[in-house]
């Protein structure tokens, strides 16, 4: 299965490691370096099999190629997955991260990484003890810290652009926005939406977190299993991927989908299903690029805060262009976004 996956992949390189003490498979996938070194996070997760982990790493690194190209930064796409039997803590976690750092270092500048699901800024500090190309280390170690606030800012701009395309004005005053998942990104997004006058609905599987954020921003909490069927103007998935699928799309009662989650579409056909349902979809790899723009921009391209802010606002402009192309060419917004990115890949 691993052989078959690697043989049939259109990416450039796969590096495989196995950490015997923890039983962790490590996969670093370099999808494309056409536009520059491959950038992408390091994910730590339990998988059903090493092949499932490799497949995920491949898919995620392909998405990074598109994300970097759509954001128009000079990086390619890569991703690393640490397929752990259980999430390690303490000394064991540190040892695994150092071992992984050594593996990543064999790629030198070709693979430049940052945090992802289940890895943090503190983990980046450890990996950076072995690998020189690590973004989002703690600020007191000279890194750019948590990318979440910038991701949220980019999504906020993206929501305004998408609302503008549907309703003719970016004004969020009185618009009903459902934020699914109020973690690092969703909580900050909810704050900004409320400040802009939106009526914010919050759904999170962690009831205490939902209540805390709702109390702070003046939002209404809804049960997590009712998120899909709740009437709203904007559905902002900021928890997990795959929430847009053949089963959920017919139940959606929103005019547009615009949120931070990666891989929101369960399969390609879901873009068509949304299009046919008259729901405008903001392609995830375009709208959630704010974190990458901030961390890669600040640390590698030496952007100042103003440049970062301008580029975050630019996510709205990119989406507006994608919506125009989607309409004029009669294609889904996902396809229009892919075409934009692929054109930059030459």
With H, G, I as helix, E, B as strand and everything else as coil, classify residue 27.
strand
**Does 148 contact ligand NAD by CB under 6 A?**
yes
Among positions 121, 162, 260, 300, the unique one binding ligand NAD when judged by CB under 6 A: 260
Applying CB under 6 A, the span of 4-12, 158-166, 167-175, 257-265 interacting with ligand NAD comes to 257-265
Nearest partner of 82 among 108, 107, 110, 115, judged by Cα? 115
Interface segment toward ligand NAD; rule CB under 6 A; list 89-97, 244-252, 256-264, 322-330: 256-264
Task: Compute the distance between CA of residue 279 and CA of residue 274 in angstroms, rounded to an integer.
Answer: 5
- Sole binder of ligand NAD in the list 52, 98, 122, 240 (CB under 6 A): 240
Place of tokens 């989406």: 319
- In the three-class reduction of DSSP (H, G, I as helix; E, B as strand; rest coil), residue 52 is classed as helix
Which residue has the CB atom at the shortest distance from ligand NAD?
183
Asked whether position 87 contacts ligand NAD by CB under 6 A, the answer is no
Decide whether 1 or 205 has the Cβ nearer to ligand NAD: 205
Under the binding rule (CB under 6 A), the answer on residue 51 touching ligand NAD is no
Q: Report the alpha-carbon distance of residue 143 to residue 136 in Å, rounded.
A: 5
Question: 338: Cβ–Cβ under 8 A, 6 or more apart, which residues?
Answer: 66, 283
Answer yes or no whether residue 205 interacts with ligand NAD by CB under 6 A: yes
Q: How far is the CB of 246 from ligand NAD (least distance, A)?
A: 18
Binding status of residue 59 toward ligand NAD by CB under 6 A: no
The 76-83 sheet, strands edge to edge: 13-19, 24-32, 76-83, 38-45, 111-115
Is 45 among the residues known to form the active site?
no
Does the protein bind ligand NAD through residue 96 (CB under 6 A)?
no
Among the residue ranges 17-25, 55-63, 144-152, 336-344, the one whose residues contact ligand NAD (CB under 6 A): 144-152
Residues in the chain, total? 346
In 3D, which of 106, 154, 109 has the Cα closest to residue 135? 109
Using CB under 6 A as the binding rule, whether residue 121 contacts ligand NAD is answered as: no
| Sequence-ordered list of residues with C-beta below 8 angstroms from that of 333, at least 6 positions apart, any chain | 271, 275, 280, 281, 282, 283, 322, 323, 326
Which has the closest alpha carbon to 287: 160, 188, 118?
Answer: 160
The count of chain residues that interact with ligand NAD, using the rule CB under 6 A, is: 26
Collapsed DSSP state (helix, strand, coil) of residue 33: coil
CB of 239 to ligand NAD, least distance (A): 3
Q: Quote the least distance from Cβ 196 to ligand NAD, whole Å.
A: 19
- The Cα 118–Cα 83 span in angstroms is 11
Q: Which stretch binds ligand NAD (CB under 6 A): 76-84, 176-184, 310-318, 323-331?
A: 176-184
Q: Which residues bind ligand NAD (CB under 6 A)?
A: 117, 147-148, 151, 180-186, 203-206, 209, 224, 238-241, 260-262, 288, 291
Active site residues: 79
């Amino acid at each position: 299965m691993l052989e078959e996956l690697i043989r049939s992949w259109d990416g450039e390189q796969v590096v495989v490691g196995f950490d015997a003490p923890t039983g962790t498979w490590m996969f670093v996938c370099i999808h494309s370096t056409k536009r520059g070194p491959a950038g992408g996070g390091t994910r730590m997760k339990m998988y059903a099999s090493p092949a499932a982990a490799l497949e995920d790493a491949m898919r995620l690194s392909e998405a990074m190629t598109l994300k970097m190209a759509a954001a128009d930064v000079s990086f390619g796409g890569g991703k690393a997955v640490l397929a752990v039997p259980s999430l390690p803590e303490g000394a064991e976690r540190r040892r695994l991260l150092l071992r992984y750092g050594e593996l990543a270092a064999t790629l030198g500048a070709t693979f430049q990484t940052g945090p992802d699901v289940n890895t943090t800024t503190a983990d980046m500090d450890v990996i950076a003890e072995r690998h020189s190309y690590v973004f989002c280390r703690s600020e007191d170690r000279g890194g750019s810290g948590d990318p979440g606030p910038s991701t949220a800012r980019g999504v906020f701009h993206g929501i305004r652009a998408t609302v503008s395309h549907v309703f003719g004005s970016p004004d969020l005053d009185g618009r009903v926005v459902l934020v699914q998942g109020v973690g690092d990104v969703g909580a900050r997004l909810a704050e900004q939406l409320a400040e802009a006058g939106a009526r914010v609905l919050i759904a999170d599987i962690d009831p205490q977190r939902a209540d805390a954020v709702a109390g702070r921003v003046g939002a209404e909490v809804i049960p997590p299993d009712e998120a899909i069927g709740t009437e709203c103007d904007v559905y902002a998935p900021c928890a997990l991927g795959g929430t847009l699928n053949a089963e959920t799309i017919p139940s959606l009662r929103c005019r547009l989908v615009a949120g931070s989650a990666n891989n929101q579409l369960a399969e390609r056909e879901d873009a068509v299903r949304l299009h046919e349902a008259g729901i405008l979809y903001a392609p995830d790899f375009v709208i959630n690029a704010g974190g990458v723009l901030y961390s890669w921009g600040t640390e590698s391209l030496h952007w100042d805060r103003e440049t970062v802010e301008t580029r975050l606002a630019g996510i709205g402009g990119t989406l507006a262009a994608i919506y125009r192309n989607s309409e004029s060419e009669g294609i889904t917004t996902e396809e229009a976004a892919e075409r934009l990115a692929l054109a930059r890949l030459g």
